[in-house]
Amino acid sequence: MKKTKILLVGMTTLLVASCGTKKAVVQQKPVQENKTTQPATPVVKDNKMESMVFMQRIADNALYQKNLVSNLTFTLNDGHKDITVPGILRMRKDEVIRLQLLIPILRSEVGRIEFAKDYVLFIDRIHKQYVKASYDEVGFLRDNGINFYSLQSLFWNQVFIPRQQKVSEADLSQFTVDESKAQEGETTLVGLKDGKMDYKWSVNPKNNQIVLTTVTYNSNAHGASKLSWTYDNFKAFGSKLFPASQALTINTPKIGQKPSKTLKANFDLESFSDASDWEVLTTPSEKYTKVSVEDILGKLMNF
């Protein structure tokens, strides 16, 4: 039980912090060949077309399923030790991402983190408290242009454009593609620049699967903070493949008296299902007290 309480603290901190460095979702449409004669030189035209085709192949890897449910083994490392607990991941496209943390063996729920389109919800069943806030009310999310669709794209292993719900066929031209290392057996690098945010996706050129997403925020005052989300152990889910092993790393720089910090989380999934017989959104019990993020973290830390 003590391990689970410590994990709840880390999980809440991790997810709130991780939101601050990431960012929408790919709606695939068939790429239509552009037959209009362009004034550009043949080399430029070919490179652009090749990049568009490559980006469409990445988009085509998106799952057809609307729901994904999986047993979860969650491991958190705060730089000192690993803490592991079981859980359940439930996702419904364009509606919700839910992480349920369970007590080992008993498998009763002790904590829930839910990302909906309009709010973030954290429930602490130990203390019968909850936090519910819009994305705009969470300063770190608001200041970095984070919304539900940004988080969804990371969990679903897709490319995205900040603050957009979908990535259309026309949007694919906004990404840069560097295939210079592909012939050497290395990943192809896809990039996107948005103000002080720098997004990169490392893609396996053999199957066009995203194996790493990196988001870097460059602050003139505080230096660079970085989020890395890796994907591995791809398994069949319907006619597509989905990464059963996902790992999140957040590196934050030293700010004033606060030291630099590295947090790591591993999500190991098993038994994929497209089950839809579960409630979409959670309504906290009337017996639960609404508190601030600071209040709930403070009580968990001192429990």
pTM of the model: 0.80
Q: Where are the domains of the chain?
A: 2-302
Cβ–Cβ < 8 Å for 98, 113:
yes
SS3 content of the chain, % helix, strand, coil (to 5): 20, 40, 35
Label residue 257 exposed, middle or buried (CB < 10 Å: 0-12, 13-18, 19+).
Answer: exposed
Angstrom CA distances, 9 to 101, 177, 210, 294, 295, stand at 12, 39, 30, 11, 11
CA distances from 201 to 19, 189, 221 (A): 17, 6, 26
What is the full per-residue pLDDT of the chain (303 aa) written as tens digits? Answer: 555 555 555 555 554 444 443 333 344 344 344 444 444 333 333 488 889 999 999 999 999 999 999 999 999 887 777 888 899 999 999 999 999 999 887 789 988 999 999 999 999 898 899 999 888 876 556 655 568 998 899 999 999 998 888 899 899 999 999 988 766 678 999 999 998 889 999 999 999 999 999 988 887 777 788 889 999 999 999 999 999 999 999 887 777 777 778 889 899 999 899 999 999 999 999 999 998 876 655 454 443
The CATH class given to the 2-302 domain equals mainly beta
Does residue 14 contact residue 265 with C-beta atoms inside 8 Å? yes
